[in-house]
Amino acid sequence: MPERLITVEEAFVARGRGVLIAPRFTPERPRTGTFRVRLRFLDGRDRETSAELEVSHVRGTLTPYAMLRLPELGPEDVPEGTEVWTID
Protein backbone atom coordinates (compact mmCIF):
# COMPACT_ATOMS: atom_id res chain seq x y z
CA MET A 1 0.00 0.00 0.00
CA PRO A 2 1.49 3.39 -0.95
CA GLU A 3 2.66 5.55 1.94
CA ARG A 4 3.45 9.26 1.97
CA LEU A 5 7.08 9.58 3.02
CA ILE A 6 7.48 13.33 3.12
CA THR A 7 6.24 16.72 1.96
CA VAL A 8 9.18 18.63 0.50
CA GLU A 9 10.32 21.74 2.37
CA GLU A 10 13.60 22.05 0.46
CA ALA A 11 15.57 20.18 -2.22
CA PHE A 12 19.31 20.82 -2.29
CA VAL A 13 22.52 19.47 -3.78
CA ALA A 14 24.80 17.67 -1.36
CA ARG A 15 27.66 15.22 -1.74
CA GLY A 16 26.62 12.46 -4.13
CA ARG A 17 24.18 12.23 -7.03
CA GLY A 18 20.89 14.07 -7.35
CA VAL A 19 19.28 16.00 -4.52
CA LEU A 20 18.56 15.56 -0.84
CA ILE A 21 15.07 16.40 0.40
CA ALA A 22 14.35 18.20 3.68
CA PRO A 23 13.00 17.79 6.27
CA ARG A 24 14.64 14.76 7.78
CA PHE A 25 12.18 12.19 9.12
CA THR A 26 11.85 8.84 10.86
CA PRO A 27 10.67 6.25 8.33
CA GLU A 28 7.81 3.99 9.38
CA ARG A 29 9.40 1.10 7.52
CA PRO A 30 13.16 0.86 6.92
CA ARG A 31 14.17 0.53 3.27
CA THR A 32 17.50 -0.41 1.80
CA GLY A 33 18.85 0.26 -1.65
CA THR A 34 17.01 2.13 -4.36
CA PHE A 35 13.21 2.06 -4.54
CA ARG A 36 10.59 3.77 -6.71
CA VAL A 37 8.53 6.74 -5.54
CA ARG A 38 5.83 8.94 -7.01
CA LEU A 39 6.11 12.71 -6.72
CA ARG A 40 2.78 14.57 -6.48
CA PHE A 41 3.15 18.21 -7.41
CA LEU A 42 0.93 21.04 -6.20
CA ASP A 43 -0.43 21.53 -9.73
CA GLY A 44 -1.78 17.94 -9.78
CA ARG A 45 0.95 16.37 -11.94
CA ASP A 46 2.68 13.13 -10.92
CA ARG A 47 6.16 11.88 -11.73
CA GLU A 48 7.82 8.56 -10.93
CA THR A 49 11.51 8.42 -9.99
CA SER A 50 14.08 6.53 -7.91
CA ALA A 51 14.78 7.27 -4.25
CA GLU A 52 17.22 6.19 -1.54
CA LEU A 53 17.11 6.66 2.22
CA GLU A 54 20.22 8.09 3.82
CA VAL A 55 20.40 7.39 7.52
CA SER A 56 23.15 9.42 9.11
CA HIS A 57 21.68 11.12 12.15
CA VAL A 58 22.43 9.10 15.28
CA ARG A 59 19.92 9.53 18.11
CA GLY A 60 21.18 7.10 20.77
CA THR A 61 18.54 4.44 21.46
CA LEU A 62 15.89 6.29 19.41
CA THR A 63 15.12 5.40 15.80
CA PRO A 64 17.57 7.32 13.57
CA TYR A 65 16.47 10.12 11.29
CA ALA A 66 16.65 9.66 7.54
CA MET A 67 16.88 11.97 4.58
CA LEU A 68 15.51 11.13 1.18
CA ARG A 69 17.81 11.29 -1.85
CA LEU A 70 16.41 11.49 -5.37
CA PRO A 71 19.46 10.53 -7.48
CA GLU A 72 17.89 11.20 -10.90
CA LEU A 73 16.66 14.77 -10.22
CA GLY A 74 17.92 18.30 -9.56
CA PRO A 75 16.62 20.88 -7.06
CA GLU A 76 14.53 22.59 -9.76
CA ASP A 77 12.64 19.29 -10.32
CA VAL A 78 11.30 19.08 -6.76
CA PRO A 79 9.55 22.29 -5.67
CA GLU A 80 8.47 22.99 -2.09
CA GLY A 81 5.14 21.36 -1.28
CA THR A 82 5.71 18.29 -3.46
CA GLU A 83 4.57 15.07 -1.77
CA VAL A 84 6.73 11.96 -2.09
CA TRP A 85 4.83 8.63 -2.02
CA THR A 86 6.09 5.05 -2.12
CA ILE A 87 5.01 2.81 -4.99
CA ASP A 88 4.16 -0.63 -3.64
CA distance 76 to 74: 5
Write down the domain spans for the chain.
Answer: 4-86
CATH, domain range 4-86 = 2.40.30.10
Residues 67 and 26: beta-carbon distance below 8 Å: no
Distance, CA of 57 to CA of 48 (rounded, Å)? 27
pLDDT in tens, 14-45: 888 999 999 998 887 778 889 999 999 999 99
pTM here? Answer: 0.87
CB atoms near residue 18 (< 10 Å): 21
What is the amino acid identity at position 49? T
Tell me: the pLDDT tens digits for 71-85? 999 999 999 999 999
